[in-house]
């Protein structure tokens, strides 16, 4: 009974989003920035009428060999925002990334805006808070973020209406933001020639991922998809991070319309078993579950990240 009720909620939310995409919602302007070191695409989306903007999935530069952070990637976003005369109201995270550190606090300091993520970040904080043996000063209730979104929530970016979809499977906390005809699905799905996200992180689930992706692919075919990562599929020489719902439905190598759930789960599970952990997963999770804030300095004035040894 609970499952049927949830399906009705999902169907209703998707129908409302479809109506808004087909209706008179202004078309947002999207400008993307690609960080080749982490293969991450960050996006600035703004309302052309009011110049109000949101930044989605920003990157803090981090060199693990020297343990030094930098702001070159974030400064490029700041320069663009200022050159375009934009006012940033939201700093949006699609999930707690395992492959790059978020620059949201730095952008907030420079540009203002509320840092937001899905409410399921609390489950991520509880899981990884235990792994990293975080003390009582680390709150596992999402309070490090300015706002926590629930599935179906809506908010505005100027005159644009944005709708939040909870799309778990890659992690428990993945969100997609639907802003006019633009969809920002985070790591859930990649370019059609590359496929889909892995589902073997703590709390990940390949079957849940398939259902989340099918929910996304029920949006209008013409909707623009702005992806969070690209790794250049074999045979492609350039990076790409923009496609459409229709292109994904027709030709995504893992999850096009002819792929059934059981086949996807078998493929995804087998493929995930061959993958190495992301190079920056340990520093990324520790920082990103804090909304991009670095750990507090210790008595000597230095900040530290932990590396758990010999964990299962």
- Examine residue 311 and state whether it is found in any structural domain, yes or no: no
User: What is the average per-residue pLDDT within 46-55?
Assistant: 98
pLDDT digits (tens, 9 = 90+) for 118-167: 999 999 999 999 899 998 888 999 999 999 999 999 999 999 999 999 99
Residue 293 lies in a domain: no
Residue 150: inside a domain: yes
pLDDT bin (cut points 50, 70, 90) of residue 5 is very low
Among 27, 45, 43, smallest CA distance to 35 is for 43
Q: Is residue 1 very low, low, confident or very high in pLDDT (cuts 50, 70, 90)?
A: very low
What pLDDT score was predicted for residue 135?
83
| Digit-coded pLDDT (tens) for 247-265 | 999 999 999 999 999 999 9
175 burial type by CB count under 10 A (0-12 exposed, 13-18 middle, 19+ buried)? buried
**175, pLDDT greater than 90:** yes
Average pLDDT value for residue range 34-42? 97
How high is the pLDDT of residue 13?
58
Q: Per-residue pLDDT tens for 189-248?
A: 999 999 999 999 999 999 999 999 999 999 999 999 999 999 999 999 999 999 999 999
What CATH number should be reported for the domain holding residue 190? 3.60.15.10
261, 267, 305, 311: which is closest to 283 by C-alpha? 305
Instruction: Establish if 307 belongs to a structural domain.
Output: no
Cβ count within 10 A of residue 301 = 6
∠260-174-261 over CA atoms, to 5°? 10
pLDDT of residue 18: 60
The pLDDT value recorded for residue 251 is: 98
pLDDT tops 80 at residue 29: yes
pLDDT at 294 over 80: yes
Give a yes or no: residue 62 inside a domain: yes
Alpha-carbon distances of 221 from 108, 192, 218, 246, rounded to whole Å: 34, 14, 8, 4
Above 70 in pLDDT, residue 17? no
Q: What is the distance between the alpha carbons of residues 142 and 96, in angstroms, rounded to a whole number?
A: 12
**8 is in which domain, residue-wise?**
2-288
Q: Decide which of 22 and 139 is more confident.
A: 139
Residue 119 domain-assigned? yes
Q: What's the rounded mean pLDDT across residues 294-308?
A: 94
At residue 2, the pLDDT reads 40
- Among the residues of the chain, which ranges form H helices? 2-22, 72-83, 104-111, 121-131, 206-216, 245-251, 261-272, 281-288
pLDDT recorded at residue 26: 76
Mean pLDDT of 34-45: 97
Give 53-105 pLDDT, tens digit per residue. Answer: 999 999 999 999 999 999 999 999 999 999 999 999 999 999 999 999 999 99
pLDDT of 181: 95
Residue 300 domain-assigned (yes or no): no
**């209706």: which residue's tokens?**
23
Residue 141 lies in a domain: yes
Query: What total number of domains does the chain contain?
Result: 1
Q: Which residue has the higher pLDDT, 4 or 58?
A: 58
Which residues lie closer than 8 Å to 299 by C-beta, 6 or more apart?
Answer: none
Question: Per-residue pLDDT tens for 155-171?
Answer: 999 999 999 999 999 99
Q: Quick one: average pLDDT of 40-63?
A: 98
């Amino acid at each position: 009974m609970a499952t049927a009720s949830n399906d009705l909620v999902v169907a209703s939310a998707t129908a409302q989003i479809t109506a808004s995409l087909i209706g008179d919602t202004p078309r947002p302007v999207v400008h993307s920035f690609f960080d080749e070191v982490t293969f991450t695409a960050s996006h600035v989306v703004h309302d052309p009428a009011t110049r109000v903007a949101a930044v989605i999935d920003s990157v803090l530069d981090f060199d693990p060999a020297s343990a030094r952070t930098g702001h070159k990637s974030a400064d490029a976003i700041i320069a663009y925002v200022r050159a375009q005369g934009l006012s940033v109201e939201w700093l949006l995270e699609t999930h707690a990334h395992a492959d790059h550190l978020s620059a949201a606090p730095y952008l907030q300091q420079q540009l203002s805006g509320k840092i937001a993520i899905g409410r399921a970040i609390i489950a991520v904080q509880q899981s990884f808070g235990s792994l990293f043996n975080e003390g009582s000063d680390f709150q596992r209730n999402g309070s490090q973020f300015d706002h926590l979104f629930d599935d179906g929530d809506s908010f505005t970016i100027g005159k644009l209406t944005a709708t939040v979809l909870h799309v778990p499977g890659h992690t428990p906390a993945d969100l997609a933001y639907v802003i006019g005809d633009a969809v920002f699905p985070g790591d859930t799905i990649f370019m059609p020639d590359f496929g889909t996200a892995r589902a073997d992180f703590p709390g990940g689930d390949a079957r849940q991922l398939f259902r989340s992706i099918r929910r996304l692919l029920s949006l209008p075919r013409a909707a623009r998809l702005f992806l969070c990562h690209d790794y250049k599929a074999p045979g492609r020489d350039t990076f790409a991070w923009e496609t459409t719902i229709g292109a994904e439905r027709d030709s995504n190598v893992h999850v096009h319309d002819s792929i059934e759930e059981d086949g996807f789960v078998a493929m995804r599970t087998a493929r995930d078993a061959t993958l190495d952990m992301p190079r920056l997963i340990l520093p990324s999770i520790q920082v990103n579950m804090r909304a991009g804030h670095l750990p507090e300095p210790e008595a000597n004035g230095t900040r530290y990240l932990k590396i758990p040894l010999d964990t299962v």
